[in-house]
Amino acid sequence: MRATKQWSWLTIAQRYQGLVGLLLLLAVALVLAPHNSAPGNLFGSVFFSSANLRNVLGQLAVPGALAIGATFVILTGGIDLSAGSALGLLNCIAASWLLHGASASATAAYVLTIGTAIGALLGLLVNVTKLQPFVVTLAGMVSLRGAAFVYTNNANISGLGHNFDFLEAPTLGIPAAGWILLLLVLACSILLRATVFGRRVYAVGGNPLAAEYSGVPVNRVRLGAYALNGLCIAIAAILFTARNSNGEPSAGLGYELDAITAAVVGGASLMGGYGSAGGTFIGALFIVCLNVLLILQGVSYYVGQGWKGVIILVAVYLQNLGRRN
């Protein structure tokens, strides 16, 4: 009886580990975070304030969209190491279009198309070469970063004007970029849970051979997952361009690892077949909240990094513990 109860606790904690971690973090924040009397503070806490809600969602938009994209690839049992480089290239393309006077919608459409095409190309390469996604996307990481530097002739692009400013403007207390992320999470959640394609993504990641024998078009599903990842990266790149209002070929360095971290903390398994858009969102939110709390507490960035490593390890350990049974 007692044992059963313990396991059920574990099951809950393992299934909702991102959420459990986030709630604990919020509890800690309530006690620790500095207090002041700015308007909109709940319990007088700087952390639980409307200003911080804006701050967190503003910071979350880019890593959140990247993490949602990474989730599709991770669910198929793959990994995308090229996301940061792709973000850098797309950031430069968006910036260059805006600099030359293109409208927001034309720029966005072009960037979304290129991003999706890059994703699809990577998926195609994985299918055709039968190489590990790690290797294919590692090559993509190197090439796309190079392409970004060539595209901008090794310079930053600034003076973009204000066409993308509306993405940063608050609507109902949250930056438009935050709303876009929330819509993206909702759409991807529905896609993964309630469509044939979604089920097949899980099937491909769970056991590609079994999926193949049961008639799942494995290659097409994988291609779709990588293309969707590319689309999410493009969305992230547009939001990134809006927030920084410039283009830098070095932008997004190492962001692919943040995206993978968010997915893993949110309960995704790098072996494929486990994970969800909602879980990844919670994972990304957890990391941003942790970052904000560390800055509010005046803890050095490097100490924070050390703790993030510990948290990833604990998250993966918990998954393993639950799934071994």
Partner 1 sequence: MSWKAWFGVIALGAALAGCGSGSSTAESSGSKPLVAFAQANSADPWRQVFDAETKAEADKHASDFTFEEQAAEDDPAKQNNVIDTFLLKQPKVLLVSPVTEAVQAQVEKAYDAGVPVILLDRAIPGDKYTAYVGGDNVEIGREAAKYIVDQLHGKGTVLMIQGLGGATATTDRKNGAMEVFKATPGIHVIEGDDCKYQRNAAKTYMENFLQSGKPFDAVYAHNDEMAIGAYLAWAASPKASGKRPLIVGIDGCQREMVDMIKAGKIDATFKYPIPGPKGIELAADILKGNKPTDKKVILPTERVTKDTADQYLAANPNLAK
Return the number of the residue (226 or 286) whose C-beta is nearest partner 1.
286
Q: Please state the φ and ψ torsions of residue 77, each to the nearest 5 degrees.
A: 90, 10
CB-nearer residue toward partner 1: 213 or 301: 301
Measured between alpha carbons, how far is 247 from 269 in angstroms, rounded to an integer? 33
The H or E element spanning position 170 is: strand 170-171
Quote the least distance from Cβ 34 to partner 1, whole Å.
5
Tokens of 265: 């903390």
Q: Please, which residue, 10 or 182, has the CB nearer to partner 1?
A: 10
Closest approach of partner 1 to the CB of residue 264, in Å: 15
Select 17 or 163, whichever has its Cβ closest to partner 1.
17
Q: To the nearest whole angstrom, how small is the minimum distance from the Cβ of residue 206 to partner 1?
A: 23
Please give the C-alpha separations between residue 155 and each of 96, 179, 227, in angstroms, as whole numbers.
11, 32, 29
Classify residue 62 by burial, with Cβ atoms within 10 Å: 0-12, 13-18, 19+: buried
- Which residues are bridge partners to 175 per DSSP? 170
Q: Do residues 22 and 266 make contact, with C-beta atoms less than 8 angstroms apart?
A: no
Closer residue to partner 1 in complex, CB, 127/291: 291
Q: Give the binding site for partner 1 (CB under 8 A).
A: 6, 9-10, 13-14, 17, 20-21, 24-25, 28, 31-32, 34-36, 38, 46, 49, 51-52, 55, 58-59, 62, 154-156, 158-159, 168, 240, 243-246, 248, 251, 253, 290-303, 307, 310-311, 314, 317-318, 321
Minimum CB separation of residue 240 from partner 1 in Å reads: 7
Nearest approach, Cβ of 45 to partner 1 (angstroms)?
A: 10
Closest by CA position to 178, among listed 33, 20, 284: 284
Contact 252, 89 (CB under 8 A): no
Which one, 201 or 292, has the nearer CB to partner 1?
A: 292
Residues 6+ apart with CB under 8 A from 220: none
Conformation bin of residue 217: beta by default, left when phi > 0, alpha when psi is -120 to 50: beta
Structure tokens at 89: 């290239």
Give whichever of 73 and 167 is closer to partner 1, judged by the CB atom. 167
User: Quick one: 15 or 199, whose CB is closer to partner 1?
Assistant: 15
Least gap, CB of 156 to partner 1 (angstroms): 6
Cβ atoms of 282 and 15 within 8 Å: the answer is no
- Tokens linked to 293: 């709390």
With H, G, I as helix, E, B as strand and everything else as coil, classify residue 247: strand
Nearest-approach distance from CB 119 to partner 1, in angstroms: 21
- Minimum separation from the CB atom of position 8 to partner 1 (A): 11
